[in-house]
Amino acid sequence: DTGVSQDPRHKITKRGQNVTFRCDPISEHNRLYWYRQTLGQGPEFLTYFQNEAQLEKSRLLSDRFSAERPKGSFSTLEIQRTEQGDSAMYLCASSLVVHEQYFGPGTRLTVT
Amino acid sequence: AQSVTQLDSQVPVFEEAPVELRCNYSSSVSVYLFWYVQYPNQGLQLLLKYLSGSTLVESINGFEAEFNKSQTSFHLRKPSVHISDTAEYFCAVTHSNYQLIWGAGTKLIIKP
């Protein structure tokens, strides 16, 4: 069990570019979550998958954001036309038992 | 709506001294409560959780937290801290099966 992995760990992009992040959950976990964390704040919920179904999306997730989890395994989070306000740490978590989420190391996005 | 307040952004304490990190929440329904820890340059790790039953819950590394329904609190305590406890600690609550609501975090700074 290698835990939750995220790729890349760091991403620097120019405003207006598209970026895609990947999350590989713990293999037997059917639930997957995306959060965003800005400096000095706790994580904010973005979206939740159970298997391949996206069951909930936060209002924070504008139409520039899209997440997928094909085949119920890894997940991708894409941000189109990035803005400086998108700069944050993007966290992925997975769980088997509902109330025990395991987090990856995060992807730090910097939009210049 | 649920919210979580961590009253202290930083708590400095001498090594081997006791510490309490405060967490208060607001919710109109029953909640589940969590403390997560984030060591420098690492991902979030579940420290302990309250789901039901005994209001006092313990972690394997000497931390404990007590659920106080009347005061809507879930403070984290340790009787004697070690330099290795240096980290940021996040309190989180949920009443659903997926969405954690987080506090802003408390940095525990251990002074030698």
Q: Of the candidates A45, A91, A104, which has its C-beta nearest B99's C-beta?
A: A45
Contacts of A104 in chain B (CB under 8 A): 43
- Residue A99 clears pLDDT 90, i.e. is over it: no
- Residue A1 clears pLDDT 80, i.e. is over it: no
Q: Give, for B68, the enclosing helix (H) or strand (E).
A: strand B64-68
Chosen for mutation from B5, B90, B98 (greatest number of chain A CBs closer than 10 Å) is B98
DSSP per position, A38-105: -TTS--EEEEEEETTEEEEE-TTS-TTEEEE-GGGS-EEEEESS--GGG-EEEEEEEESSTT--EE--
Nearest Cα residue to A37 out of B14, B85, B111, B36:
B36
Distance of CA B20 to the CA centre of its chain: 9
Nearest-Cα residue of chain A relative to residue B39: A105
Distance of CA B104 to the CA centre of its chain: 11
- Residue B97 clears pLDDT 70, i.e. is over it: no
User: What's the pLDDT tens digit per position in A31-65?
Assistant: 999 999 998 889 999 999 999 999 989 887 889 99
CB contact under 8 A, A43 and B102: yes
User: What's the pLDDT tens digit per position in B24-77?
Assistant: 999 878 889 999 999 988 889 999 999 888 888 889 889 999 999 999 999 999
CB contact under 8 A, B98 and A56: yes
Contacts of B9 in chain A (CB under 8 A): 40
The counts of H helices and E strands in chain A are 0, 11
CB contact under 8 A, B98 and A98: yes
CA gap B27, B4 in Å, rounded: 9
